[in-house]
Amino acid sequence: MPSIMSRFSQDTLDFIAKAARQTKSEWLDRHREEYESDLLNPVRDCVREASRLLKESAGAELSRYRFPDRGLARIRRTASRAEAQGWYKDWIGVQVARDSGSLYEELPSLYFHIAPGEENVFSAGGLYLPSSQQTKRIRNWIAKDPSRLEELLSDQDFRKVYKSLGDERKVKTFPRGFPKDHPKIEWLKLTGFYVWRPFSKRVFFSKEFPAVLAADWRQVLRLNSVLDHWISSDPDPTEEVASVEKGAEKNAEKNTGAPEKKSRVRQPDSWDW
């Protein structure tokens, strides 16, 4: 007999809100049963079912995405973070990511967020905190050939879920190296390239919610495909070749036997809404 899948409810949001008010680390130990029934089990069952459904429809596109199982719905912070931020988070996030092979960059990913409050339960995805190099490449594509992104954002199936790129992360002035009157100047101002959409409580509490989340993430995969191409290539191949050749020349000049200095690029956090 198949097990009954746990569902989200108002108790889920209430538990997160109650946890956020606590000041003692051991509080969660005394409320373990409530934590598991109201938060942990619904999150785990939802992610597992959404993963299963998405793999059925997306197939090979998901081969490198890692759906988390351990650490899901972790609401208590470590002691080192608790000193500055408090013992308990007031939100839960699930990121389905891929290994970028770098300590300093992430690849476009899938995201799901739960928190009490208006529009605080949402699906999302894309590249929320790109590195400076990733941002530069994406802006180059936007400036020279944004057609793939334009087509995606005007696609009927995509627009049913995500209307536009998120604009929470953007520069206030104009990015250097791009004309101020560029027709896509608002896209060029972005420092994060992602989409998101909130869920009503009716949808969030429904038994169909894992299927809704999987369908949303299916559309995010389309955005991630565009971003994957953009961050790994240049719209002008001659510029990319010239850049590689210039870098090779510099490396040859520096090759004097002295150890190479390590990069001081800051490692980005994960999705941090």
* Helix then strand then coil, % of the chain, to nearest 5: 45, 10, 45
Residue 163, token pair as written in the block:
């209307």
Q: Are 217 and 108 contacting, i.e. CB atoms less than 8 angstroms apart? A: no
Selected residue with higher pLDDT from 217 and 70: 217
Residue 62, token pair as written in the block:
């998901």
> Where residue 61 falls among pLDDT bands split at 50, 70, 90?
confident
Residue range 75-126, pLDDT digits in tens: 999 999 999 999 999 999 999 999 999 999 999 999 999 999 999 999 999 9
So what's the pLDDT on residue 267? 33
Residue range 171-210, pLDDT digits in tens: 999 999 999 999 999 999 999 999 999 999 999 999 999 9
Residues 90, 95, 98: CA angle, nearest 5 degrees? 155
Residue 47 belongs to a domain: yes
Residue 240 belongs to a domain: no
Range of the structural domain that residue 228 is part of = 10-234
Provide the β-strand partners of residue 123: 112, 197
Residue 241 belongs to a domain: no
| All residues at 6 or more sequence positions from 213 whose CB lies less than 8 Å from its CB, including other chains | 46, 50, 112, 123
Residue 26 belongs to a domain: yes
Residue 89 belongs to a domain: yes
> Where residue 272 falls among pLDDT bands split at 50, 70, 90?
low
- Provide the CATH number for the domain around residue 17: 3.30.930
What percentage of the chain carries pLDDT values higher than 90? Answer: 81
Q: Are 98 and 127 contacting, i.e. CB atoms less than 8 angstroms apart? A: no
Could you tell me how far CA 38 lies from the centroid of its own chain? 24
So what's the pLDDT on residue 251? 46
Q: What is the pTM for the complete model shown?
A: 0.86
How many domains does the chain divide into? 1
Residue range 227-270, pLDDT digits in tens: 999 999 999 765 543 443 444 444 444 444 444 333 333 333 44
Residue range 108-119, pLDDT digits in tens: 999 999 999 999
Residue 179 belongs to a domain: yes
Statement: residue 1 has pLDDT above 90 = no
So what's the pLDDT on residue 177? 93
Residue 251 belongs to a domain: no
Statement: residue 218 has pLDDT above 80 = yes
DSSP H or E stretch at residue 98: none
> Where residue 60 falls among pLDDT bands split at 50, 70, 90?
confident
* Average pLDDT over the chain, rounded to an integer: 89
Residue 1 belongs to a domain: no
